[in-house]
Amino acid sequence: MPDILMHKTAVRGVPQVSVSQTSTLVTRTGSWKSIRPEYHDRMAPCNQGCPVGIDIEGYMNLLREGRVEEARDLLLAENPMPSVTGRVCHHPCENACNRRFLDGAVAIHAVERVLGDLADASPAAATGALPRVERVAVVGSGPAGLACAYHLARFGYRVTVFEAALQAGGMLRLGIPEYRLPRPVLDRAIARIVAQGQGVEIRCGARVGSDPTWSELTSTFNAVCVATGAHVSRALDVPGEALRGVQRGLDFLRDVNAGARPSLGRHVVVVGGGNTAMDCARAALRLGAAVTVAYRRTRDEMPAIAEEVEEALREGATLSFLANPVEIVGPAGSVSGVVCERMALGEPDASGRRRPVPTGERFTIAADTVLTAIGESAELDGLPADVTTSASGMRVEALGGTNRVALFAGGDVTDLERTVADALGAGKRAAIGIDRHLRAVANNENEATSADALRFGGGNVSAAQWTGRDPIRRVAPVNEVVGLDDLNLHHFARVPRQDDAHLSTGAAIAAFDEVNTGLTKDQAIAEANRCFNCGVCTQCDVCLIYCPDAAISHVADGEANYDVALDYCKGCGICVAECPRGALTMTRDRA
């Protein structure tokens, strides 16, 4: 048994009780209580950890009850493209999952993917007339722009999305290879967003700043959201970077994702340790090259999704750690190798990771092609001159507002986190910010609501709460998050996690077919049954069974699942101590 469970038992001990205050004629089992149990729905840590702001525990609970369509709809209330995030999200929700301390975190990403594919199989039906007369423009059709448009359409607005490329999707289409995100999956997700509420139009081949101009945009629309992403690869700034055979990683991925199959030679060196670097490495393997990834820190500091690193290694990539490129060399103007300096890890830098320190030792990695993937920057030059920016991107408030009235922003163009999930969450925040602004202008409701009042725990905001259509009854503040110490793990059996199915290594690198084939519907439902449902009463009857005075009983109707007969309850706290999910709390007796 893990040490944490043994420690938990020792710490809990016997619940504290109070001494008698009055006669037993007042309380039938002894009037010695001064506290009593109350049922409180609290927040699961996975919800708090989700950058999109999804009620993960809620849809897991609905799946557990066999209510698949309701689970799908609860997921779609916050996430416009779960079939996409189920494939490419870095799923920090699983790192927050309390079940990881028992037998492994719930495979939340895999369950989300199944629900997303079910949603995309039945595209949203268009509704009738939209209730809002205001029009909103969204610049960019990546995850942030699509999320903003999706939620605004659900709020009742007509939205026009301007996309400079010839197809919608932003970096989802341009930057993520098909073996991770098949194009039919992305196309179906976008089609459902366009169908949502009859309020979304996407205009491709429209570069804002020239056609239309910013002045045309702001004079035509009541509000604008900028979600243009970060499409400029950062330069290495080392000698030899201009040699033939050296290419920016994003440019390489754009070509490959457009169908090109370039000849890379025998040896490819990918510089970087993020998701773009892993995508470049795995794409190069499929083009027949031997691949070495040079990264200046160690694996523990790599920002790439851990599963993507594992897949790259499984498919044959070599990772060279503590290797910092200082020069690219090659005769006759073509690359032949990358000179690296061996690094050592020093003190943590501003990112929290240990800073790489030069050792003076140098070595060369042979290369016919070098792909640089050390990060991307947002293109800010085309923005209106008075917009406040930083070195990392546009500055935004909690709900996406900028220093310019009616101008909002979200996703990689801002100076916030840059992942698909974070972009989707930022797009939703901007949609709520726009709705709040436009309602304030029209003197309608909701204009004073703050972002903090809408958050799941300390995580992202909830669109369902903003619209007042949250289908989950919540009897306690939404920000009260359940930790491991609030649970009683002795009531849970160990159940193996359902792992994703994958293509064999040989089949994976032979083509660009999707490698992770996910779970079946039945497996997803089985995985949902592993969820602890932290902080939520699931009517397991443990409190009723363990109550020594039979003070707890079922309630046939009403909001509560159980009733506590206070004239029998003596406040011993056994029900709270035994509750598996932390859905009960002891409160001061008000009688």
Rounded-to-integer distance, Cα 454 and Cα 399, Å: 11
287 or 11, greater pLDDT: 287
Q: DSSP state, 499?
A: P
Domain boundaries, the chain: 3-41+537-588, 45-122+477-528, 135-231+378-448, 233-376
Q: Does domain 45-122+477-528 have CATH number 1.10.1060.10?
A: yes
Non-local (6+) Cβ contacts of 509 within 8 A are: 285, 286, 315, 316
Confidence band, pLDDT 50/70/90 cuts, at residue 469: confident
Q: Which pLDDT value is given to residue 211?
A: 83
431: nearest Cα among 449, 409, 450, 405: 409
Non-local (6+) Cβ contacts of 210 within 8 A are: none
Rounded-to-integer distance, Cα 228 and Cα 236, Å: 23
297: nearest Cα among 341, 255, 356, 245: 356
Region class of 73: left (phi > 0), else alpha (psi between -120 and 50), else beta = alpha
Averaged pLDDT of the chain: 88
CB 548 within 8 A of CB 455: no
Residue-wise DSSP of 83-113: HHHHHH---HHHHH-GGGGTT----HHHHHH
Query: Tens of pLDDT along 396-406?
Result: 999 999 999 99
Q: DSSP state, 77?
A: T
Listed range (31-40, 227-236, 389-398) with the worst mean pLDDT: 31-40
Q: Are strands 501-502 and 323-329 parallel, antiparallel or unpaired?
A: unpaired
Q: Which pLDDT value is given to residue 205?
A: 94
Rounded-to-integer distance, Cα 25 and Cα 43, Å: 39
Task: State the virtual CA torsion across 517, 521, 523, 527 in degrees, nearest 10.
Answer: 110
248: nearest Cα among 228, 237, 234: 234
CATH class of the domain defined by 3-41+537-588: alpha beta
Q: Which pLDDT value is given to residue 465?
A: 85
Q: Which pLDDT value is given to residue 3?
A: 39
Q: Which pLDDT value is given to residue 570?
A: 83
Beta bridge partners, 365, equal 338
Pull the structure tokens for residue 301. 């500091």
Rounded to two decimals, the pTM is 0.90
Q: What is the mean pLDDT of residues 222-237?
A: 93
- Helix 68-76 / helix 56-64 crossing angle, nearest 10 deg: 170
Confidence band, pLDDT 50/70/90 cuts, at residue 32: low
Residue 456 has pLDDT above 80, yes or no: no
Q: What topology does CATH give the domain 233-376?
A: FAD/NAD(P)-binding domain (3.50.50)
Would the CATH topology of 135-231+378-448 be identical to that of 233-376? yes
Q: What's the count of helices (H) and strands (E) in the chain, helices before strands?
A: 20, 21
Q: Does domain 135-231+378-448 have CATH number 3.50.50.60?
A: yes
Q: What is the mean pLDDT of residues 577-590?
A: 84
Phi, psi dihedral angles at 290 (to 5 degrees): -85, 130
Separation in Å, CA 552 to CA 163, 184, 271, 449: 59, 53, 63, 38
Rounded-to-integer distance, Cα 47 and Cα 27, Å: 40
Beta bridge partners, 341, equal 324, 362
